[in-house]
Structure 1
């Protein structure tokens, strides 16, 4: 029990074991991951700079695209550097609090990315179904509020993950069969009852993922109905 903090059942750190069953090829897997990370960072920062510097792109569609790029950068940076350290240098240990912090950022920015995709679908809906009112509906103020609410939704729903995970007893060990800390990967190694964690995780998935997919589906269904109902080819 040397991994525990004194007599507590809270571990001082976790061990991230990378990709189970592929330990012998970790170094080979790292190269495509590093390449993809470099491309993602360069491409997303380049896109954000282009949208910021070109006034012709200061429109709602491109604002949402920049927000999506920003979320992509944050998701990649919260996981891939740590994964590469594991694959390259076998640095598998991560502090307990650092693990909870990583868990928070991963789930928050994943929820934010999902929300931005929903906002982009709603943007298309307004542009096609209400073209004459597009500029008055999607003002800069509305875009800023929508982005903030999307971020706030992720933060408020993800914060309980850290508290639920922190309260679990970890008497079985501290080895996580994963490359980064996510909610259920950490909860599954606990020797306590994780039913609350599983139920809340499912609820968050429904409130974020399924809700956003539903909104996207409805938006494009209504767009399709609008396009089909046009009376002429020119329209």
Structure 2
């Protein structure tokens, strides 16, 4: 299990009839399906990166300590965020969570990221000679979708009603597995409403088929290339305004 769920808004043409809302969302999300098979192409073998990552991680841990030790130091320095860590998404103060993420980035990640970039630029990239996949060439062929963003999705889900700024009753400890948490009618509004209420998801898919995101969501809820919260908020509001009067459907995506 990868355990990465994230709130995504799908923007649809304003003339989309109610009977076509679900299928229209399905169509816009289809190109980003992890299981979508694409024509075979060449890419760098994972063995190259695995060796580099191993070397980099060792040097980062030597310089800054492990992430576990960093988390412990951060928790000791900021007891005000303990309540955030014990809640499910949507159950805590978004502003408090944003502040926690901002401080974590500044106090922990910025220096690590800087050194990581420096090491990536200097370390020699070499394949493993006896790699079973690339046979030491460093190149493999794959049919994996390079645009993959999700392996499972549903309307609403953990964010049932959020797009309408509604606090709907949750179940299953906030996971909302039941079908009544997947009603399109409870998870659809116009972009004007999202703009006015500043409803900011993790990702947005626009009618032209383009994917916009705060960062690249990976396994175990690890996010890379993450935008500053303020910058992403401005971008999301810009998109809502650009597609003023359009329909928007809130979805729960998993990768």
Q: TM-score range by the shorter chain?
A: under 0.3
State the TM-score, normalized to the length of structure 1. Answer: 0.27
- Normalized per residue, the structure richer in strand is 2
State the TM-score, normalized to the length of structure 2. Answer: 0.25
User: Highest CA radius of gyration, 1 or 2?
Assistant: 1
- Normalized per residue, the structure richer in helix is 1
RCO higher in 1 or 2 (8 Å CA, sep ≥ 6)?
2
